[in-house]
Structure formats: structure tokens, C-alpha cells
């Protein structure tokens, strides 16, 4: 089984695929209420331990953290924090499963899955829309009619897991 993670200090998306590429688990760990990075990481670790009891994970794929600046996006501090958090969660994966995670950039994962985000559109809402149309995710909505934030991260985790599945299959 494949574990796909979209790691973030606010919401970490999690997807588990079986050997036929079916989604057997898709959820997220919402850590927005925790102020300390280590408390946030501990919540993700607890979920990883729960999944170990339920699923026979043999491959782990994690969305590669941003490595460079882009105009209007993350500052050096944010990039550094995200990278550190990604490293902590990566270590937990190794510690819990004994598996070295592999990293896939979000753009590569979307490309592998045949998702092309049109220029000018934000990737997360577009990806969620594609997965809703494919019947792979069924989001809950806010009172204002917007998808609840966790569903964006859950969608990204699906794309990372499916990209990992395709990469693993190509390497066999």
C-alpha cells in the first residue's frame, strides 16, 4: 500500500492507496489550533501510528516542500519552517514504518496524474474540482458554499499518492 502526504504546518493531507490504486483512506490532520511546531508534528505522528496499525504501508511519498521564492508567495521564514516540518514528518515516517519517504513536487505529481492547471487559476481549487468530477473526493462545504479547507490538502495527498503509485509501477 502507498501512503501519500501533503505536509503542512496548518493541515496535513493523508491518502492511502491499495495495490490496485484504490483510495482506502483519505483524511487530514488539522493542526491550525496548535501554536508550537512540535505539538503540530506530534498530532501528525499520532495519525501515522494509527495508520500503521490498520494498513500495510510499503511506500511513502511526500510532497516536496517549496525550495525557492516566488513573487507574492512565501517568505524565507515560512519556507524554512515548512522545510523543517516536512523533515520532522519525514523522520516520523522512517521511524514508524522503517521506510525512507520519496519526494514529489506538486507540479510533477499533477502532471503524472494528467492534471493541467490553466494559467491564472489557483492549483488547489482546480485540483479539488478535478477530483470531485472524477468522484475521488466528496468535500463538505462551509455556510458560504466553499469547500472546507481540509479538502484541498486531502486532494493534494491523493495526487501525491497516485503519482507515487504510477512511479512505482513504472519502476517495476
The pLDDT assigned to 114 comes to 92
Percentages of the chain per state (helix, strand, coil), in multiples of 5: 45, 15, 35
DSSP H helical ranges for 29-149: 37-54, 76-97, 106-112, 123-133
The pLDDT assigned to 77 comes to 66
Query: What is the reported pTM?
Result: 0.87
What confidence tens digit (pLDDT) does each residue in 18-31 have? 999 999 999 999 99
**Arithmetic mean of pLDDT over the chain:** 89
pLDDT at 74 over 60: no
Residue 74's CB is within 10 A of a number of other CB atoms, namely: 15
What confidence tens digit (pLDDT) does each residue in 79-98 have? 677 778 888 899 999 999 99
Contact 92, 41 (CB under 8 A): yes
If 0-12 CB within 10 Å is exposed, 13-18 middle and 19+ buried, where does residue 98 land?
exposed
pLDDT at 139 over 50: yes
Q: What is the average pLDDT across 42-65? A: 93
pLDDT above 70 as % of the chain? 91
Closest among 112, 93, 96 to 104, alpha carbons compared = 112
The pLDDT assigned to 35 comes to 86
Residue position matching grid coordinates 479538502: 151
Handedness of CA 34, 66, 92, 109 (dihedral sign): positive
The pLDDT assigned to 71 comes to 46
HSE of 22 in the Cβ direction (CA atoms, 13 Å)?
A: 4
The pLDDT assigned to 78 comes to 63
Architecture of the domain made up of 2-170? 2-Layer Sandwich (3.30)
Amino acid at each position: 500500500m502507498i501512503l501519500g502526504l501533503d505536509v503542512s504546518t496548518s493541515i496535513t493531507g493523508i491518502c492511502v492507496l491499495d495495490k490496485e490504486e484504490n483510495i482506502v483512506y483519505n483524511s487530514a490532520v488539522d493542526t491550525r489550533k496548535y501554536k508550537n511546531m512540535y505539538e503540530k508534528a506530534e498530532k501528525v505522528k499520532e495519525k501515522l501510528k494509527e495508520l500503521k496499525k490498520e494498513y500495510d504501508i510499503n511506500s511513502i511519498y511526500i510532497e516536496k516542500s517549496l525550495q525557492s521564492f516566488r513573487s507574492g508567495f512565501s517568505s524565507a521564514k515560512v519556507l524554512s519552517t515548512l522545510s523543517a516540518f516536512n523533515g520532522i514528518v519525514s523522520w516520523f515516517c522512517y521511524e514508524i514504518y522503517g521506510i525512507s519517504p520519496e519526494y514529489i513536487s506538486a507540479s510533477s505529481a499533477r502532471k503524472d496524474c494528467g492534471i493541467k492547471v490553466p494559467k491564472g487559476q489557483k492549483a488547489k481549487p482546480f485540483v479539488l474540482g478535478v477530483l470531485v468530477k472524477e468522484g475521488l473526493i466528496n468535500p463538505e462545504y462551509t455556510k458560504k458554499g466553499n469547500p472546507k479547507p481540509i479538502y484541498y490538502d486531502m486532494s493534494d495527498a491523493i495526487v501525491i499518492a497516485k503519482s507515487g503509485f504510477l512511479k512505482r509501477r513504472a519502476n517495476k
